[in-house]
Amino acid sequence: MDEIRDKNAEGEILDIYTPQHERTGRSVRRGEPLEGDDRLLVAHVCVLNGKNEMLCQLRSPAKGHYGGRWDLTAGGFVLSGEDAAASALRELEEEMGLVLKPEDLRFVFTEPFSYVLDDYFLAKAEADPAALTLQEEEVADARWFSLEEVTAMIGDGRFVDYPPEGIRKVFSLAAE
Q: How far is CA 104 from CA 13, 44, 68, in A?
A: 27, 14, 29
What ranges do the domains of the chain cover? 2-175
pLDDT for 34-65, tens place per residue?
A: 999 999 999 999 999 999 999 999 999 999 88
In the chain, the percentage of residues whose pLDDT exceeds 90 is: 89
In CATH terms, is domain 2-175 a member of 3.90.79.10? yes
**Confidence (pTM):** 0.91
pLDDT for 115-136, tens place per residue?
A: 999 999 999 999 999 999 999 9
Contact in structure between 104 and 127 (CB atoms under 8 Å) = no
Contact in structure between 60 and 137 (CB atoms under 8 Å) = yes
Q: How far is CA 114 from CA 37, 40, 92, 117, in A?
A: 10, 10, 23, 8
Hey, is 34 helix, strand or coil? Answer: coil
Distance CA(153)–CA(72), nearest Å, equals 12
pLDDT for 93-104, tens place per residue?
A: 999 999 999 999
Mean pLDDT, residues 153-157 = 97
Residue 165 corresponds to which amino acid? E
Q: What angle is formed at CA 96 by the lines to CA 1 and CA 52, rounded to 5 degrees?
A: 115
